[in-house]
A and B are shown apart, each in its own frame.
Chain A
């Protein structure tokens, strides 16, 4: 049996005398996980704990089965980390920087150079790889950070606010790269972001933190699937008989206001069945849409807890 990507067991992490993470329990197995939460929720502390920068006071955190407290070196060897803040050496060319990062992860110098070229081409900085990092634009620096995070072929890549400060085009490029990396299946990805849209577009699972506690753990794939069965309908005509007919199909149905119906389609019932029922009863379907319980809704609900 393969170990979960990240496993937290009653994890408590203090910084100084203040406890930041209060007994987190979690098991993440998906290849892409989003970490959400307002400022001060403990996202960065959790990432720093996984990297071994902060020591838990009790409980355990494991990455691919390796305890972050006792096997920090092994854990770090498995991780590629793209920090949120600037992290470069201004007067160093990108190729040297990424090569050095690879060598620090244990690649021999020759292999590190080859991988640095590959990684920079992969993130789209191939033509600019000999330029100094200090001369890069913000978008290019983000890509360089991504290149150094993946150059050594980590099993888990932690991306902290990967689209921070990017213009729409650069953001799309970053999202496309993350999706490509996800599709390749060579690594798991943990994305920490304030932008719910980024998480929604790229992740299979989302963990929402608030005040050092996990307030929601959503399987986004499952949420998306269930959302597809929840339908909101606006009708013109005899909505009562229409609602009865829908219920007779076995679907839970509620008339929330005159002409407004909400229903959950059961297995085997499709939208065309609703059209047929409406046609039989001479009811006009003015509007019909899946109620999309977006990640934003999930996030806001979690924040109310």
Chain B
């Protein structure tokens, strides 16, 4: 490569499309995230369940192999419950992944004031959040939404058109519940990264907010003798929403899909407000 030593020339070449420029942030952030081998191993480990599930779906329809172990095809029912369980386990792993990845997204830019350098370029605050959020979003989608849809496609191809047509509603449930989980975790990760500079504390807070809501909700329920505490338990809300869309509502479930959706959207809006507030201050402060 020719390097111009000690001279300067203006750039006159072509420019990339402004619409996709936020992907630059995502690319660089993703590269930084995967510099950690620990995270890479953890991420690969998140695929054990999808691989196991593919094998189970295959065996479930393979009469030859099942005959050898005295089992009949269809030993496992693939329905809303199957996908709900899959999304619940993968959702928990997504929470862990967010706790590792989230804190390294915005905090390094704020620690040494790099934000003003980003935002003085033709890129908006929204695009900055989008670019950084896509790092977490992409990782979560790769262990929840995409494998769940792949499982649905595999099961459809193995079980045939009748199963596909009668279970098409599952796609709706998988997509919407995964998107809601992604939106919540992305915003939670970014908000903690923006407000808490110490990675370990930010990671712990992400886990605490995501997981400890159950305990907090239970305390509220016990103290106030109501069930309103369930609305503070994010995992419960996500399960209620997904369960309703996947046609597998748990016994005694009193949180409706629409109520869960509204509460989660409110949480997301609050997190977005927190991120925006922090970035707004740092943007102008330089």
Contact = CB atoms under 8 A, between A and B. Distances in A.
A87 B122 contact: no
A81 B9 CA distance: 17
Interface in B102-146: 108-109, 111-124
B1 interface: yes
B3 A85 contact: no
Contacts of B11: 107, 111, 115, 152-153
Contacts of A266: none
A3 interface: no
B7 interface: yes
Interface stretch (A180-188, A212-220, A274-282, A285-293): A180-188
A104 B24 contact: yes
A4 interface: no
A174 interface: no
B116 A83 contact: yes
A100 B114 CA distance: 12
A114 B11 CA distance: 11
Q: What interface size band does chain B fall in?
A: 35 or more
Interface stretch (A21-29, A46-54, A296-304): A46-54
B286 A83 contact: yes
B252 to A, nearest CB: 50
Given A73-B18, A121-B3, A187-B10, A51 B120 contact: yes
A107 B10 contact: no
Contacts of B226: none
- The CB with the most chain B CB atoms within 10 A, among A105, A119, A153, is that of A105
A186 B8 contact: yes
Contacts of A61: none
Nearest to B111: A90
Contact of A121 (B5, B18, B111, B116): B5
Contact of B108 (A79, A90, A124, A152): A90
**Closest CB pairs A-B (n = 9):** A153-B11, A106-B15, A81-B120, A153-B10, A87-B113, A104-B121, A53-B284, A83-B286, A77-B122
10 contacts: A51-B120, A53-B283, A54-B284, A86-B112, A101-B117, A103-B21, A103-B24, A113-B1, A114-B3, A153-B10
